[in-house]
């Protein structure tokens, strides 16, 4: 199939059509204003559902038959168990048994635990995947093996946007729920498989034609709190085990021991302080991973020392953020997902630990979202370039190995900081041009490396704020040249073929870049 | 035909590579390249390997190369080691270019509060070590290197001295004991090493032998910069002979102690209180002071215990030591900070230095502060305290102008 291509506003060449849908190339930050009405699910009538509220059916197959799974449908699952999800694989086992073909899988994210699904891509049960891919499925896609359709990667907010503006229509949503009642009310904070919030499934529950709740802890009505409301749910299935919550642990729950990463984390915290961001009532978000954890701990010490309290911290929550809440260093945790079981416990027990959804935090079609109100976010990246553009999905060899998560949505904070090593082994992270552009440089304010801090020249206010400090502020170009010297010259760009294998969406649904097949 | 290998491969290996070379009688060069950075540096890696083989006059060979992101200095070192193992008589050196950032010099009198030990055969710990600002880095050829890898480590440390920017840290190498250490010197001395650490030193003769060998190499390679010595006392005999060791050569600038070996030698175990080593440590301080060189303490080996480290540095400082060894970069700041003078010490030292300067300006031989006369050694100590305070960031460099 010949692909028609067009250059977008950041100079990336992207397809005009993806999986038979017309695309709008990325136009720039805040430049795209879609018109019309939001999508809507079909009208349901209470009379068609049992008056006693009991929607329990005997097994997954019965449920899938009841909601009418057919060839070519779009089926969604969610990643609140991260690498511990046990439901998606079972759903496709059943779909294969039923002889269904060409299902588009629309997960909120996939993880290495979903590698068994590769056989269903090979044999046509799954047509293609639209969703973030961490690990083996990403590599499979990069090697050009997902032949029937293009992977489409969206941010958490972008997924909500795509459902809401009708770009993706979900036929069947399957929601794995740690606790549910027979009516379909469910939550993620109670039960033996408690994993935190179910809100990655919120849009699916509201907009899908049919909704199946799968649980391993059925309680009598009412299941409280009802993160997902049973009024959206068609049927409920009880199985032995829906997931392993021990595997929600993201990246690492241990603070990094690497002296270089600790140095980066410490510099980041010092920057936040010296730039004047650290003040009473401020807010921040730090992602998962050892460097972010270390950053939070350095920041915590500074807050204690200066007697400063945050108004809210955005999670990914973990033990360390929960400690800050419990020690009174923040009024609230507003939590998109829990990264360890301390986070789960706190979300269950502490009314100040609030589960947020991609709608409240990140959605483009809301009347505002929380993401733009955070004073400072600390995020990772696989690559950054001298124009402050950043990549989070591919490695420098071109392989697609990570999802976008909430990363793009977080870039809208008051100060977006990427603490990253300037190179890893011999792999330069600071480049002339990123392999895949996921975030435009105009939204990335500061890059903190072990060799110095580069501030985006657009942020004169930040440059002024740290003038005269003892922080190692350097032009980004300088650090890049130093790194090239260490690594032995400019790295060659990844060798890729012409064929596009994945599309990278911007938060508004436009196409910001694409990933090509790796040689 | 003969085959040889060098370097490391495997899942846990980082910033290193493995190379196997089989020399053939015909067929040219065939390179099997497996690299984590193949897409970025595959072509330049091939070029580098080919130029290395050419340098050593190898025209026909089959080469297997597995790379976990080794920097060029490491690739070159592994290649050279494999060839040296293939041809034990080979003496040519496949040298990376000496980087401008590796050409700074040192001085006899400089602070040596913190010195960071780095295993000589491991690039990954060296590359960014300078960022953590130790007063010195020690590229180690001795205990951290497996006996079978001594040849490999020498070449690697040599290349590191030529390529890695240690950012102003004093560039030290710990050689092996005895004859092997003298061979180490051939690889190290021509490449701007600042200090040679002599391990398990028990006699002035050992210092003299190292000193003589250094002089010979310096002459041959026309090296003019100083190469200083820091003997390490690690035995009962060494402790007894500490003064003789410290004065064995004018190039000795510091004397240090290694307690793991010392405590074993005296038939006991190292404890946190350190009562068993009090005499030897004090002996080293006294020998060093008598010889007018710096007394430097041993390492603190519990990298997780920062409070313990701080207490240990304060104790060392109280005993008279001026420096401490470290094995993890996070220890550096704690050490430098604990060696820094206290506010009271700084205040007093400033007053003495000002009085001294005033006396100098007036041409007075006697320095007095208030009604007290200040002895010259007190002035000297005050000057050192002020320097240390400036270096530790506790006093502005221009404090005299700002008062």
* pLDDT for residue A250: 60
Question: Computed from CA positions of residues A92, A94, A97, A101, in that sequence, does the dihedral angle turn out positive or negative?
Answer: negative
* Mean pLDDT (whole number) for A465-472: 95
Q: Check CB contact of B98 with chain A, cutoff 8 Å.
A: no
* pLDDT for residue A252: 58
On whether the CB atoms of residues B378 and B356 are closer than 8 A, the answer is no
The verdict on a CB contact (< 8 Å) between A427 and B329 is: no
Q: What is the pLDDT of residues B84-116, one digit of tens each?
A: 999 999 999 999 999 999 999 999 989 999 999
On whether the CB atoms of residues A243 and A202 are closer than 8 A, the answer is no
Coil, helix or strand at residue A390: strand
Q: What are phi and psi of A431, to 5 degrees?
A: -130, 170
Residues 110-139, chain B, touching A (beta carbon < 8 A): 124, 127-128, 131-132
Confidence of residue B392 (pLDDT cuts 50, 70, 90): confident
Q: Which two tokens stand for residue B270?
A: 């190292």
**DSSP state at residue A218:** B
Residues 297-356, chain B, touching A (beta carbon < 8 A): 328-330
Cα–Cα distance, A353 to A322 (Å, whole number)? 8
On whether the CB atoms of residues A109 and A79 are closer than 8 A, the answer is yes
Cα–Cα distance, A245 to A192 (Å, whole number)? 9
CA–CA distances in Å: residue A272 to residues A257, A267, A421: 22, 9, 18
Confidence of residue A247 (pLDDT cuts 50, 70, 90): confident
The verdict on a CB contact (< 8 Å) between B37 and A488 is: no
Confidence of residue B228 (pLDDT cuts 50, 70, 90): very high
Residues 188-227, chain B, touching A (beta carbon < 8 A): none
For residue B70, which residues of chain A lie inside 8 Å, CB to CB?
425-426
**DSSP state at residue A439:** B
Decide whether B3-86 matches B100-339 in CATH topology: no
Confidence of residue A245 (pLDDT cuts 50, 70, 90): confident
Architecture of domain B3-86: 2-Layer Sandwich (3.30)
* pLDDT for residue A1: 54
Cα–Cα distance, A409 to A369 (Å, whole number)? 9
Q: What are phi and psi of A252, to 5 degrees?
A: -145, 145
For residue B70, give the nearest of A426, A450, A485 by CB distance: A426
* pLDDT for residue B283: 98
* pLDDT for residue B367: 83
Q: Which two tokens stand for residue A372?
A: 């733009």
In B, minimum Cα distance to A487 occurs at: B71
Q: Which range, of A140-149, A402-411, A455-464, B383-392, averages the lowest pLDDT? A: B383-392
Please determine, for residue B196, whether its predicted confidence score (pLDDT) is greater than 70: yes
Pairing mode, if any, of strands B367-369 and B372-374?
A: antiparallel
For residue B15, which residues of chain A lie inside 8 Å, CB to CB?
425-426
B162: how many CB neighbours lie within 10 A of its CB?
Answer: 19
For residue A398, give the nearest of B37, B39, B68 by CB distance: B39
For residue A488, give the nearest of B41, B68, B124 by CB distance: B41
Cα angle: B140, vertex B142, B146; to 5 degrees? 105
Between A365 and B363, the higher pLDDT residue: A365
The verdict on a CB contact (< 8 Å) between B68 and A425 is: yes
On whether the CB atoms of residues B271 and B230 are closer than 8 A, the answer is no
* pLDDT for residue A288: 75
C-alpha closest to that of B246 among B210, B291, B203, B194: B291
Cα–Cα distance, B162 to B159 (Å, whole number)? 5
Alpha helices of A165-308 — where are they, by DSSP H?
A: 202-207, 259-274, 290-306
Q: What is the pLDDT of residues A182-199, one digit of tens each?
A: 999 999 999 999 999 999
Q: What is the pLDDT of residues A376-402, one digit of tens each?
A: 999 999 999 999 999 999 998 899 999
* pLDDT for residue B1: 62
A359: how many CB neighbours lie within 10 A of its CB?
Answer: 20
Question: Mutate which of B14, B117, B131, B328 to disrupt the A interface (most A C-beta within 10 Å)?
Answer: B131
Q: Which two tokens stand for residue B210?
A: 């190292």
For residue A450, give the nearest of B15, B72, B131 by CB distance: B131
* Mean pLDDT (whole number) for B248-265: 97
Identify the H or E element spanning B243: helix B242-246
Which CATH superfamily is B100-339 part of?
Answer: Phosphoenolpyruvate-binding domains (3.20.20.60)
Cα–Cα distance, B351 to A292 (Å, whole number)? 46
Please determine, for residue B400, whether its predicted confidence score (pLDDT) is greater than 90: no
Please determine, for residue B331, whether its predicted confidence score (pLDDT) is greater than 90: yes
* pLDDT for residue B403: 54
Domain assignments of chain B as residue spans, ordered by start: 3-86, 100-339, 343-402
N-terminal to C-terminal alpha carbon distance within chain B: 75
The verdict on a CB contact (< 8 Å) between B69 and A489 is: no
Please determine, for residue A468, whether its predicted confidence score (pLDDT) is greater than 60: yes
Cα angle: B345, vertex B346, B350; to 5 degrees? 120
The whole-angstrom distance between A411's CA and the closest CA on chain B is: 28
* Mean pLDDT (whole number) for B340-358: 90
DSSP A443-491: G--EEEETTEEEE-TT-HHHHHHTTTSSS-B--HHHHHHHHHHHHTSPP
* Mean pLDDT (whole number) for A14-19: 96
The verdict on a CB contact (< 8 Å) between A426 and B71 is: yes
Q: Check CB contact of B87 with chain A, cutoff 8 Å.
A: no
Report the mean per-residue pLDDT for chain A. 95
* pLDDT for residue A192: 95
Please determine, for residue A341, whether its predicted confidence score (pLDDT) is greater than 60: yes
Please determine, for residue A251, whether its predicted confidence score (pLDDT) is greater than 60: no
The DSSP bridge partners found for residue B35 are: B67
* pLDDT for residue A519: 84
* Mean pLDDT (whole number) for A154-178: 97
Q: What is the pTM of this model?
A: 0.93
N-terminal to C-terminal alpha carbon distance within chain A: 19
In the A/B pair of chains, how many CB contacts fall below 8 A? 65
**CA A330: distance to chain centroid?**
24
* Mean pLDDT (whole number) for A456-472: 96
């Amino acid at each position: 199939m010949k692909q028609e291509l067009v250059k977008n506003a950041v100079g990336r060449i992207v397809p005009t059509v993806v999986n038979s849908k017309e695309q709008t190339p990325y136009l720039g930050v805040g430049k795209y204003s879609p018109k019309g009405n939001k999508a809507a699910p079909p009208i349901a009538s209470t009379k068609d559902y049992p008056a006693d509220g009991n929607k329990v059916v005997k097994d997954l197959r019965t449920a899938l038959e009841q909601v009418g799974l057919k060839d070519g449908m779009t089926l969604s699952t969610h990643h609140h168990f991260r690498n511990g999800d046990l439901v998606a694989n079972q759903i496709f086992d059943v779909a294969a048994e039923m002889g269904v073909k060409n299902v588009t899988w629309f997960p909120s994210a996939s993880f290495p635990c979903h590698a068994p699904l590769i056989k269903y891509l090979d044999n046509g049960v799954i047509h293609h995947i639209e969703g973030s891919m961490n690990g083996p499925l990403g590599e499979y896609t990069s090697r050009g093996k997902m032949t029937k359709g293009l992977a489409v990667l969206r941010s958490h907010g972008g997924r909500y946007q795509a459902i809401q503006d009708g770009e993706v229509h979900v036929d069947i949503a399957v929601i794995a729920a740690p606790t549910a009642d027979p009516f379909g009310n469910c939550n993620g904070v109670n039960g033996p498989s408690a994993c935190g919030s179910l809100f990655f499934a919120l849009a699916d529950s509201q907009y899908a034609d049919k909704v199946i709740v799968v649980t391993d802890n059925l309680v009598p009505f009412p299941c409280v709190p009802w993160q997902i409301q049973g009024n959206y749910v068609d049927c409920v299935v009880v199985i032995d085990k829906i997931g392993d919550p021990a595997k929600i642990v993201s990246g690492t729950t241990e603070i990094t021991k690497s002296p270089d990463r600790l140095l980066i984390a410490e510099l980041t915290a010092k920057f936040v302080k010296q730039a004047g961001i650290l003040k009473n009532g401020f807010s921040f978000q730090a992602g998962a991973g050892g460097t972010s954890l270390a950053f939070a701990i350095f920041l915590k010490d500074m807050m204690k020392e200066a007697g400063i309290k945050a108004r809210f911290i955005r999670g990914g929550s973990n033990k360390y953020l929960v400690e800050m809440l419990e020690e009174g260093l923040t009024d609230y945790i507003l939590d998109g997902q829990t990264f360890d079981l301390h986070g789960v416990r706190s979300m269950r027990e502490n009314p100040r630990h609030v589960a947020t959804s991609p709608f409240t935090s990140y959605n483009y079609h809301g009347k505002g979202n929380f993401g733009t109100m955070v004073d400072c976010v600390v995020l990772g990246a696989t690559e950054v370039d001298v124009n402050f553009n950043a990549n989070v999905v591919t490695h420098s060899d071109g392989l697609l190995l990570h999802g976008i998560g909430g990363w793009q949505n977080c870039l809208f904070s008051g100060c977006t900081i990427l603490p990253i090593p300037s190179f890893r082994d011999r792999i330069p992270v600071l480049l002339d041009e990123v392999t895949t552009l996921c975030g435009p440089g105009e939204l990335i304010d500061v890059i903190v490396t072990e060799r110095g801090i580069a501030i985006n020249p657009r942020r004169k206010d930040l440059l002024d704020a740290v003038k005269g400090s003892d922080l190692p502020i350097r032009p980004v170009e300088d650090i890049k040249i130093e790194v090239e010297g260490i690594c032995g010259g400019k790295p060659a760009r990844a060798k890729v073929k012409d064929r596009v294998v994945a599309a990278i969406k911007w938060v508004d649904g436009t196409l910001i870049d694409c990933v090509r097949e790796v040689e | 035909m003969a085959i040889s290998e060098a370097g490391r491969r495997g899942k846990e290996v980082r910033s290193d590579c493995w190379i196997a070379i089989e020399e053939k009688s015909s067929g040219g060069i065939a390179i099997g390249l497996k690299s984590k950075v193949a897409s970025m540096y595959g072509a330049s890696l091939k070029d580098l390997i080919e130029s290395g083989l050419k340098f050593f006059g190898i025209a026909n060979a089959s080469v297997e190369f597995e790379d976990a992101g080794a920097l060029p200095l490491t690739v070159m070192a592994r290649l050279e080691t494999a060839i040296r193992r293939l041809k034990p008589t080979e003496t040519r050196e496949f040298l990376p270019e000496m980087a401008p950032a590796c050409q700074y010099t040192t001085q006899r009198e400089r602070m040596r509060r913190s010195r960071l030990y780095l295993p000589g055969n491991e690039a990954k710990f060296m590359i960014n070590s300078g960022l953590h600002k130790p007063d010195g880095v020690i590229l180690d050829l001795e205990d951290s290197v497996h006996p079978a890898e001594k040849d490999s480590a020498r070449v690697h440390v040599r290349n590191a001295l030529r390529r890695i920017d240690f950012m102003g840290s004093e560039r030290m190498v710990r050689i092996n004991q005895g004859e092997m250490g003298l061979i180490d010197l051939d690889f190290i001395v021509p490449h701007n090493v600042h200090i040679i650490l002599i391990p398990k030193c028990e006699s002035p003769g050992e210092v003299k032998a190292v000193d003589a060998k250094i002089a010979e190499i310096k002459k041959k390679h026309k090296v003019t910069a100083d190469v200083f010595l820091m003997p390490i006392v690690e035995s009962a005999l060494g402790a007894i002979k500490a003064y003789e060791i410290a004065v064995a050569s004018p190039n000795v600038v510091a004397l240090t102690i290694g307690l793991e070996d010392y405590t074993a030698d005296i038939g006991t175990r190292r404890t946190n209180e350190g009562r068993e080593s009090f005499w030897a440590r004090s002996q080293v301080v006294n020998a060093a002071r008598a010889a007018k060189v710096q007394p430097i303490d041993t390492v603190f080996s519990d990298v997780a215990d920062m409070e313990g480290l701080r207490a240990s540095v304060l104790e060392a400082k109280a005993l008279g030591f001026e420096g401490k060894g470290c094995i993890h970069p996070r220890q550096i700041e704690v050490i430098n900070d604990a060696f820094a003078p206290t506010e009271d010490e700084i205040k007093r030292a400033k007053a003495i230095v000002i009085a001294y300067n005033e006396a100098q300006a007036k041409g007075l031989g006697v320095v007095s502060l208030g009604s007290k006369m200040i002895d010259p050694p007190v002035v000297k100590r005050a000057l050192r305290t002020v320097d240390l305070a400036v270096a530790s960031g506790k006093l502005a460099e221009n404090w005299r102008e700002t008062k």
